[in-house]
Amino acid sequence: MIPKTGWRIFFFLMASLVAAQQGPRTAAELFSLANMHSGNGRYPEAESALNQAVRVCAEAGDDVMTVRAWNGLGELLRMRGRYAEAESAYTKARVILESNRGDLSDFPAVLNNLGAVYRLTGRYSDAEKRFGARLPRGQAT
């Protein structure tokens, strides 16, 4: 069994190796990197990886992954108490979904997360609207 500090060193070395690689990263690599950094309390690095994922996905025209990157970024920002920025990230994901792009099965999570930000900031009527919002037409619950 590897001691806890051993895992931290391993993850640090892996992150350093990934960071040293030249060329564009895939969205999957960036999501993994963000998850690893977040799990190790390295939130600025996680935020950077998620911002890169948003850019990579948007440039590739991948609405599904763009929504998930915005939602993931919103989660990180909300967890850190940066509610206005989290709201902006969730709203960007919601706008993509409301235009019937992306995977509509992500819609409930985005609305729930947006509602959570409203609740945390005392905007209870806005939270109620988001928690009770209907899905776009054709989307099963």
62 inside domain:
yes
What's the distance, Cα to Cα, between the start and end of the chain in Å? 44
- Could you give the number of structural domains in the chain? 1
137 inside domain:
no
2 inside domain:
no
101 inside domain:
yes
pLDDT average, residue stretch 59-71 = 93
- Of the pLDDT bands very low, low, confident and very high (cuts 50, 70, 90), residue 140 is very low
Instruction: Provide the residue count of the chain.
Output: 141
Domain that holds residue 28: 24-130
- The 10 Å Cβ neighbour count of residue 101 is 14
Rounded to whole angstroms, how far apart are CA atoms 103 and 68? 9
pLDDT tens-digit series, residues 75-125: 999 999 999 999 999 999 999 999 988 888 899 999 999 989 999 999 878
Cβ neighbours of residue 5 under 8 Å, at least 6 residues apart?
none
5 inside domain:
no
78 inside domain:
yes
CATH of the domain at 61: 1.25.40.10
135 inside domain:
no
Q: What is the pLDDT of residue 21?
A: 47
76 inside domain:
yes
pTM of the model as a whole: 0.75
